[in-house]
Structure 1
Amino acid sequence: MNRLLTISSILIISAPLYAADLPVQLKNQYIIQFDNTIQKEKRSEITQEVINKKGHIKHQYHNAIKGMSITLPPQALAALKKRFPEIIHIEENITVTLVARKERPNKKPDNNDSATPRSEEIIPWGVAHIGGGQVAEYGTAWIIDTGIDSRHPDLNVDKSRGANFIKGKNTTEDGNGHGTHVAGTIAAKLDGFDVVGVAAGATVIPVRVLDNNGSGTMDGVIAGVDHVYRNGNYGDCVNMSLGAQGFSNALDSAIKATANRGIIFAIAAGNDSANAANYTPASTTHPNVYTISAFDINNNFAWFSNYGSAIEYSLPGVNILSTKAGGGTTTFNGTSMASPHFCGLAIIGSYYISHYVNNDPDGMPDPIPRL
C-alpha cells in the first residue's frame, strides 16, 4: 500500500519558506482502484458490500481510473480485497493543504465586491519574459485548485464545465485566491486593464478540490482529474499546482490516462529545494505531462524550487503579478506560479527553447521555453 507523506498546493508568499502542515491520515478512508476491465455488475457488488459493512462511498471514479474512495474499517477492507480480486490497488486517503498561508490576510476574498477599481494594464515580467500576452483565438485551461473568481473582469471563466469536490456550499468560486492567481497568469485578457496572461483571453475552467482555507483530500484531487478526463478535449491544458511527498498510484494513473487523450498537464515541481522525483504528481512521466521548476527575473533558479531529472522546463516563479480573487491584482511566488506560464504556452502551442536557467542545483540547467 503506497503511503503519501506530504501534500500541498505549491505556493509561497514570502521568505522564509514555511513547511506545510503534516497531512492527516483520514481515519478508515481509502482510495481503491479496480482493474480497468471491471464489469458494472461487479462494481455494484463491491459498492453493496461496502454499505453492508457499515462503510461509506464518497467518490466514484469511472473515467481516468476505475475505482472509488471509501470509508471502511481496516478489517472489513482486508476482507473486501480478499473477496474481490478486481481491486488491484488500495491507498490511504489524506488531507491536502496549501503551503505558506501563515501570513494570509484576515479578510477572505469577497467575490461579490464589484467596486474594486481597475488599474491600467501591466504585462507581468514573467509573461513578457517568455513572449506571452498573445491573444488566444481558442484554447481551454482546467485549473485544479481552489476555484476561480468568476466575477473577475479580466478572466474568461466557464463555470458551466467546472466542478466542485469540496463539502459544504457547492460552488466553484475561489475564497482563497490561489486558483484565481493561477488562472490570470495563463489567460488574463488583453483588455487594457489589470494584467495580461500568456494566452490572453483563453477560457479557464474551475475544478475546485481545495476549500477557502486551502484544505482538501487526495480523493478529491483524483475526482478533479477524473472530471477533466470526462469533459476535456484534445489540446486542452490542465494546471496542477499541487504536490505530495511520496507517490500516489491512483493520481499517477489518472493523470496518465487523461494525458493519453491528448490533454496536456502543467505540474508544479514543488517548493522544497529537493528532488522533484520524490514528489507526486511532479514525478509523473508522460509525453503530455510537463513538470515545471521556477526561476527569477535574472534567469536564476529559484532557491525554493524542486529540481532534478523529472523537470521538463523552467518558467518564471518569483514576484509574479496576476489576478486577485475579489478583483484587482496581487503578487505571489512559487512553482505554483511557474507551471501556469507553461500552461499558457501549451495553449498557444508554438514555443521554442530560448535560454537555460542559471545555478540549477542538479547541474543540468532546465530549459526556458518562450513563444
Structure 2
Amino acid sequence: MNSYNPMAIRLAIVLWFGLFFISCKNEKNEKNESGSEVFPEEKFVQSIPDEFILRYTDKVVDSMDTNKANFDGTERAGTNKRAVANKLATELRKLDSKATVLGFTERFALIKTGLGKNALSSLLGSSRIQSVQQNYVIKFKFEEIRKFTGSTKEHIPWNILRVGGGRYSVINARAWVLDTGVDQTHKDINYDVSYSASFVPGEVAGRDSKGHGTHIAGIIGARANGEGVVGVAPNVRISSVKVIDKDGSLNYGRYLQALDYVALHAESGDVVNLSFVSNQIEPNAIELELLELIVGKASIVIAAGNATNNTNGVRQDINDVPKVFPAAYNMQGVYTVSACDKNDQLASFSNYGLGVDYAEPGVEILSTVPGGYGYDSGTSMAAPHLVGLLLKGNVKSNSFLKSDLDGQPDPIGTN
C-alpha cells in the first residue's frame, strides 16, 4: 500500500469537505437486503468557536521523550506532558485570563480560549506550535437496532460461520473498540476493565446508550458460554474507548486524545476497530500521525462507509476530490473493509474502491446489544469480522466479492 509523507502532510491545511457519518446505515432511500426501509441520516458538523487543537513542534515533542518537558523545549520541567500543558496554559492566560487546557497529550493540547484562531495562529513558526486547528463536534443520527426476540440458547450466526469464526482459542491480545461505549455488564462480552477509557466527559466507557459499540464488540468476540451468540474470536478481551456520547456526538479533539491513548497502551497483536468515516479533501495530519504510531504496535481495521461511493483511496494525487477518511489511509497495518451479504454480493449500501482490502459480512448481522441481542447492517458490522480474524492469526481467503463496482473484487477474509 502507498504511504503518506507525514512531514508534508503536517504542513497542509486540513479542509473539511463533507460530514462525518457513523458507518452502520445507508445514506440512500432504498430497501436493504432484509427488506426494511433505510433512510438518509441527519448529521452535521459544527465548529466549537472557543476550542482549538494546538499541535506542538517536533522539538517540544522530542523534549518530552527525554523528560526535558518544557513548553519551548529548552528547559527541564521535571515532568512530562502535564508540565508542557501547564506552561502552555500559563502563557495563554497572559493574553486571555479565562484560557483553559481541556486535554493534552505529548503531541498536542486541546484548549478553550476566546482569543480566536487568528490570534493563536501568531504562535505558528515559533519553536513551540506547529499548527492550529479549530475543534468541532460531529453529530450522528443512530437508528434503533432491531431487537432479537428468539431463543437465547447459544448459536453461531451465519456471518460468523461464513468467515470461519466461533472456535475458541487462547488469545493474549485485545480488541480496542473506539465507539459509543460497550456494555460492560453484558454476559457475552469479556470486558477489559483495565484499559477501557472514556473520552466523553461525564460518561463511562462501560455504558452504551446507542448499542453500536456493543454490537461491534459481540461480532469480534462474544463468549462461547452456552448462551446468545458467538463471536469470531470468542472470549477475546474488549477494551472500550468511548468517543461518541449518549446524544450521538463526537468531539474531534477528544477523539484525537483517544487515538493517542491507544497508541500509548496498545501492544503487539492488538487490533483497533474504527467504524466511522468522513468525506474530506485532505487527511488530518494529527490523526494520520497517531494512526502511524498505533500501527507500529497493532493493526487497525476501518469501515469503508455506507454511501455506495468510491473511497478514492488510490486518488490522493488528484486535488479537490473528496476521499473517505480514515478508510482512505493506505498504509501497512491499516485495513479497510467493505460489506457483503449472504451470497457474497457487495451490499447495496457499501462503499468500494481499490483502497479496500477485504470484504466481510455486513447485512442483517445478529450480535450483542445492551440487555440482549439485535440485528444491524453496515460496514460498521463488516469491519469487526476482520478484527476477530486478525486477533486469531493470519487472514485467509478462498473467495472474492461478487459485483464489486471497482472492477477488482475484494477478497473475503476467513480464518
Partner of 2:123: 80
Write the deviation string for residues 250-298 of structure 1: whole angstroms up to 9, x where unpaired. 112111111112x011111111111223122111122111111111111
Give 2:221's match in structure 1, choosing from 179, 187, 210: 187
> Contact 2:14/2:284 (CA < 8 Å) preserved in 1?
yes
> 1:121 and 1:339, CA in 2 relative to 1: closer, same or farther beyond 3 A?
same
- The Cα of 1:188 is off from its aligned counterpart by 0.2
Partner of 1:274: 309
Give 2:23's match in structure 1, choosing from 10, 15, 19: 10
Q: Spell out the pairing of 1:88-127 with structure 2 (5 A cutoff).
A: 88-99=130-141, 101-103=142-144, 119-127=152-160
> Contact 1:61/1:67 (CA < 8 Å) preserved in 2?
yes
Write the deviation string for residues 65-120 of structure 1: whole angstroms up to 9, x where unpaired. x11222331232122225x3432233332213335x24579xxx9xxxxxx99701
Write the deviation string for residues 219-253 of structure 1: whole angstroms up to 9, x where unpaired. 12211111111111111011111211113221121
> Contact 1:31/1:90 (CA < 8 Å) preserved in 2?
yes
Give 2:103's match in structure 1, choosing from 23, 44, 59: 59
Q: Does 1:129 align with 2:142?
A: no
> 1:356 and 1:153, CA in 2 relative to 1: closer, same or farther beyond 3 A?
same
Q: Which amino acid aligns with 1:133?
A: G
> 1:187 and 1:12, CA in 2 relative to 1: closer, same or farther beyond 3 A?
same
How far apart in 2 are the matches of 1:52 and 1:134? 60
Q: Does 1:334 align with 2:369?
A: no
> 1:161 and 1:20, CA in 2 relative to 1: closer, same or farther beyond 3 A?
same
SS at match of 2:397: strand
How far apart in 1 are the matches of 2:93 and 2:343? 57
Partner of 1:41: 70
> 1:103 and 1:352, CA in 2 relative to 1: closer, same or farther beyond 3 A?
closer
SS at match of 1:26: strand
How far apart in 2 are the matches of 1:337 and 1:149? 17
How far apart in 1 are the matches of 2:139 and 2:336? 20
How far apart in 1 are the matches of 2:301 and 2:100? 33
Q: Does 1:357 align with 2:392?
A: no
- The Cα of 1:123 is off from its aligned counterpart by 1.0
Partner of 1:112: none
Equivalent pairs: percent with the same residue?
A: 30
CA RMSD of aligned residues (A): 2.1
Give 1:306's match in structure 2, choosing from 343, 351, 354: 351
Q: Does 1:367 align with 2:411?
A: yes
SS at match of 1:144: strand
How far apart in 2 are the matches of 1:220 and 1:172? 17
> Contact 2:304/2:352 (CA < 8 Å) preserved in 1?
yes
TM-score (norm 2): 0.81
Q: Which amino acid aligns with 1:320?
A: I
Name structure 2 gaps, 5 residues minimum: 1-12, 27-35, 64-68, 72-83, 314-322
Name structure 1 gaps, 5 residues minimum: 110-115
How far apart in 2 are the matches of 1:178 and 1:27? 29
Q: Spell out the pairing of 1:251-330 with structure 2 (5 A cutoff).
A: 251-261=287-297, 263-276=298-311, 277=313, 278-326=323-371, 328-330=372-374
Q: How many aligned residue pairs are there?
A: 355
> Contact 2:145/2:375 (CA < 8 Å) preserved in 1?
no
Partner of 1:30: 52
How far apart in 1 are the matches of 2:212 and 2:259? 18
> Contact 1:308/1:362 (CA < 8 Å) preserved in 2?
yes
Q: Which amino acid aligns with 1:124?
A: P
How far apart in 1 are the matches of 2:191 and 2:289? 28
> Contact 2:204/2:242 (CA < 8 Å) preserved in 1?
no
- The Cα of 1:183 is off from its aligned counterpart by 0.2
Write the deviation string for residues 282-329 of structure 1: whole angstroms up to 9, x where unpaired. 111221111111111111101211111221111111101000112x21
Q: Which moved more, 1:47-56 or 1:243-252?
A: 47-56
- The Cα of 1:9 is off from its aligned counterpart by 2.2
> 1:260 and 1:49, CA in 2 relative to 1: closer, same or farther beyond 3 A?
same
Q: Which amino acid aligns with 1:336?
A: S
SS at match of 1:159: coil
* Structure exhibiting the larger radius of gyration computed from Cα positions: 2
> Contact 1:188/1:196 (CA < 8 Å) preserved in 2?
yes
TM-score (norm 1): 0.90
How far apart in 2 are the matches of 1:286 and 1:141? 20
Q: Which amino acid aligns with 2:301?
A: A
Partner of 1:173: 207
